[in-house]
Chain A
């Protein structure tokens, strides 16, 4: 696979060098992906199911370490540090993740859910600091006004869309370098989806976002750059407008025009 490059004059925040992911020896769900991701952009990873987009995303924050049969190889450089050589806990604090299913912790209040990253890592904070982080994080996902009166209620008390925004706030509270999102709106209704998409456009001012989506129009609406993956390989990584109007690769064009998917 040729390396696919997007340059816009800045140095990349995340570099993937020949990244492969394998669930069983000899077969690769992700095959030697090499590319760069730039700060304050939204990058959409698209492709048919089973193409390796989630596998690639989860390699970045070392989620595969939880499952000993999954092997990740290559180099992943986040802010100049080699992710695969780091302590996975540190990597995961640098790279926040939002999942397909909203997963607020049902045993914690809304307030504690936002602070879960600190609580889980046994980082002690003063009451003032906690209040500030909670308010700031909830403000940035547009949830503050909706929940400030019900802060002590359980996170699972909220609607699906609110729960997902709570999970984004929980990831943002740790002030990550990059936000990894694995089809974050696929379990949500159109209105909640729309809110999250608007939110992501605001968040890219401060954060770098990589979003896996099987929804092409979502990629077109919100992403700056798009990656198209097929059978574990990165086929094309291009400016989104460019990719949707003049795809370089025939496979990409076929996928975008619905020949397969």
Chain B
């Protein structure tokens, strides 16, 4: 009897979660219908115009989609060497040592720092450096937000990558050493290729984080509503435009923002799905 009740409770809890998820999607779809209806789904996505003046009102998502892709991919590119280095440090070179667990807990700590704190740090510490570097006059833009974003996503990419690297069977590494390979050669030819799909999956997950990251980016990207002309330019991401404008919006503009939210939701869901599929392939080893 108790067993039955317990199972019922679990079932209900699971059902509630499912309903909640469905409810969120429903609410997003329901409230974005107005914008999609006005411009058509593709028309909305492919339009770079964002003009809230009531006389010439027109909304499209392209500027923000592009801004999101620029920042997410540039930050991913910046984070790869560092995340990979940390992963190799923890998952291969100093695997299981006290020093490695110290380093990995520090890296995990990076993941725990609130986004707004990164934003503040980026605003007051990194921005002057970016100005000094001569990237642009104000410092704000794709470059600044990508730099800060890349530090924010390192822990996500590195801890999972380290996990996959440490799973590479010792018998393979010993086999390679017994053929006269150096440590670097073992890492390059055995450890990295064997863990490759897991490493790729962890970077895809980190990309998912970068796509959705809001607060720090909103504070650093410059908030201009047009397609960024390169890394030095300012822009807006899908997340930052919503954060910036939802408070002063209603009607069609609000619907357009919610439609951007729905698009962002779909993109990140697809990214996570891709990571899962890559990881499934890993079951081989």
Contact = CB atoms under 8 A, between A and B. Distances in A.
Contact of B171 (A101, A120, A174): A101
A106 interface: yes
B22 interface: no
28 contacts: A63-B177, A63-B178, A66-B174, A66-B177, A89-B182, A92-B179, A96-B178, A96-B179, A99-B171, A99-B178, A103-B172, A105-B175, A106-B172, A106-B194, A106-B284, A107-B190, A116-B179, A116-B189, A117-B179, A119-B189, A120-B181, A120-B185, A120-B190, A121-B181, A122-B185, A167-B175, A171-B178, A174-B179
A78 B217 CA distance: 63
A165 interface: no
Contact of A105 (B176, B182, B185): B176
A119 B190 CA distance: 11
A174 B180 contact: yes
Interface string B185-199: 110011001101000
B285 interface: yes
B179 A103 contact: no
B100 to A, nearest CB: 14
A105 B172 contact: yes
Interface in A86-107: 89-90, 92-93, 96-97, 99, 101, 103, 105-107
B179 A171 contact: yes
A32 interface: no
A93 B179 contact: yes
B180 A120 contact: yes
B193 to A, nearest CB: 4
A121 B185 contact: yes
Given A97-B178, A99-B171, A106-B172, 11 more contacts: A99-B175, A103-B169, A103-B175, A105-B175, A105-B194, A106-B194, A116-B179, A116-B189, A120-B180, A167-B175, A174-B179
B96 to A, nearest CB: 12
Interface in B157-181: 169, 171-172, 174-181
Contacts of A103: 169, 171-172, 174-175
A165 B142 CA distance: 56
Nearest to B183: A66
A9 to B, nearest CB: 32
A154 to B, nearest CB: 9
Contacts of A93: 179-180
Contacts of B172: 103, 105-106
Contact of A107 (B171, B178, B193): B193
Interface residues of A, number: 25
Contact of A106 (B180, B181, B285): B285
Interface string A49-70: 0000000000001010010000
Chain B, interface SS category: helix
Contact of B178 (A92, A101, A106): A92
Contacts of A237: none
Contact of B180 (A66, A90, A107, A167): A90
B98 to A, nearest CB: 14
- Nearest 7 CB-CB pairings of A with B: A93-B180, A97-B178, A120-B181, A117-B179, A107-B193, A103-B175, A103-B171
Contacts of A119: 189
Nearest to B194: A107
B176 A116 contact: yes
Given A63-B174, A105-B172, A120-B189, A89 B180 contact: yes
A174 B174 CA distance: 16
B215 to A, nearest CB: 41
Interface string B246-285: 0000000000000000000000000000000000000011
A171 B178 CA distance: 8
Contacts of A174: 179-180
A90 B181 CA distance: 9
A107 B284 CA distance: 10
B186 to A, nearest CB: 7
Contacts of B178: 61, 63, 92, 96-97, 99, 171
A230 B171 CA distance: 26
Contacts of B182: 89
A175 to B, nearest CB: 12
Contacts of A61: 178
A96 B179 CA distance: 7
Contacts of B176: 105, 116, 120
Interface string A158-170: 0000000001001
